[in-house]
Amino acid sequence: MNSHLSQSSLKIPLHKNCQIIGFHSANIWAFNKSPGVSTHPNSSQFSSSTLLQSQYDPKNECYKWKDQKGNLQSLYLVHRLDSPTSGLLLTTTDHDIASQLKDAFYKKEVKKTYLAVVRSNGKPIRKCWEDNLEKKHINGKVRVVAGRCGHSATTHVSVKNRKHTKIGELLLLEMNPKTGRTHQLRVQCAKRKIPILGDRTYGDFSLNRKFSRSFKNSRLFLHSARIEIKIKNNLGQTIEWKIESSVPNEFSNLFD
C-alpha cells in the first residue's frame, strides 16, 4: 500500500539535481538521481557531488545529518547506481527495512528495469544475455572484463524503439538484469559490440565524439527506469511497491 508523498515529514538534504519521486509508508524513499551524481562518497568525508549533502557512514551504509530540531537522522542505501547512470534509487530511514531490502537485492528478488541507447551493429538482439564477468582493480580503478572467469551475469533484453540517424541506427533497449554485477549492463553491451552511448570506460570513444557533436550531449545513456519490490517486514507483513522514473528528455528526443 502506498502513502501520499510527503516531503514535509522529513527534510532530506538531497543534491540539487536529484528529486524525490516516491514515498512508501514503510519509510522507503525513491529518488531520481541525475547523471554525474555519486550514490555515496568514497569515504566518510563530505562531498558536494553525492546523493545527499551530508556526512556518510560507510560502515552502516547510510547518510547522517541533524534535522531542524537537532535530532540525528539516518538514510540507508540498499543498492547503488554508477555515477554516470541516472534514474531510480531506493533508500530507507528504517534500519530493519534496510536489512530486508538489501537481502532482497542480494537474493535477486527485486525486479529492475533499465533503459539504454546503443548504435546497432546490424546483428539481431538476443533476448537473453549470459556472461561471466570478472572485476579487477587497475591503477586504483575498478574495471570489469567478460571472459571465462568471474561470476555469472544474466540480463533479459528487448528493443523498445529504433531510429535511423546520421551516425547510424540507434536502438532503445529495455534491460532487466537478473544478477547485480558491477558495471554489468555496460560490459555486456560492450562485449556485443553495441556499447552504450556516452560510456567513457567501456564505450566506443570515436562514436561518443561523433554522437556528442551531432546531438550536443555526452552523458551515459543508461537509466534506471523501474523497480518492483516484495519483502516482508519484521511483523510478517508483505510490502509490495512498483515505482518508476520517467524517461529522460535526452532519451525521448533521440527517438522523436
The CATH number given to whatever domain includes residue 154 is 3.30.2350.10
In this structure, the answer to whether residues 79 and 98 fall within a common structural domain is yes
127 belongs to a structural domain: yes
In this structure, the answer to whether residues 216 and 185 fall within a common structural domain is yes
In this structure, the answer to whether residues 83 and 152 fall within a common structural domain is no
Output the pTM of the full model: 0.92
Side-chain-facing half-sphere of 61: CA atoms under 13 Å? 14
Residue ending a domain, choose from 74, 107, 140: 107
In this structure, the answer to whether residues 27 and 94 fall within a common structural domain is yes
In this structure, the answer to whether residues 119 and 182 fall within a common structural domain is yes
In this structure, the answer to whether residues 175 and 210 fall within a common structural domain is yes
pLDDT digits (tens), the chain, 256 positions: 333 444 446 789 999 999 999 999 999 999 999 999 999 998 656 678 999 999 999 999 999 999 888 999 999 999 999 999 999 999 999 999 999 999 999 999 999 999 999 999 999 999 999 999 999 988 888 899 998 889 999 999 999 999 999 999 999 999 999 999 999 999 999 999 999 999 999 999 999 999 999 999 999 999 999 999 999 877 788 999 999 999 999 999 999 8
In this structure, the answer to whether residues 88 and 22 fall within a common structural domain is yes
Domain hosting residue 22, numbered range: 7-107
Cell reading at 253: 528526443
Active site positions, annotated? 82
253 belongs to a structural domain: no
85 belongs to a structural domain: yes
Q: What's the number of domains the chain is made of?
A: 2
247 belongs to a structural domain: no
What angle (nearest 5°) sits at the alpha carbon of residue 171, between those of residues 167 and 176? 145
230 belongs to a structural domain: no
In this structure, the answer to whether residues 126 and 58 fall within a common structural domain is no
